[in-house]
Amino acid sequence: QVQLVESGGGLVQAGGSLRLSCATSTRADTLNTYNMGWFRQAPGKEREFVATITRSGGITDYADSVKGRFTISRGFAENTVNLQMNSLKPEDTAVYYCAAGGSISQVSWAYHYWGQGTQVTVSS
């Protein structure tokens, strides 16, 4: 069982930036053996795909709504997966979750392990 912990959420004005990080709670686990994804869920809405990255970090994929604004990356030395979010919009407000899975995918069921989420609020 891999335990994921997200950090970096907060309150930011529209047009601002935040950097989310996902790490494991135990040193024994490594995120480098998993394809990783970020999802988000806004109040009253279903959880939706944001971004994903392969084990090597060589392939990434993004939801159309965040392309050109968000960047997913791996911190191999730190054993983290990061989501740099720029030009934030009020509609980006949601709880953001990182997930670890066996395949690179936009669908949530492809991921086996999930964090508890971190709140991102973008004010207009």
Distance from C-alpha of 44 to C-alpha of 42, rounded to nearest angstrom: 6
pLDDT for res 76:
86
Mean pLDDT over all residues of the chain? 94
Confidence band for 44, pLDDT divided at 50, 70 and 90: very high
What is the rounded average pLDDT of the residues 12-29? 90
pLDDT for res 12:
98
A 10 A CB-CB count for 73 gives: 15
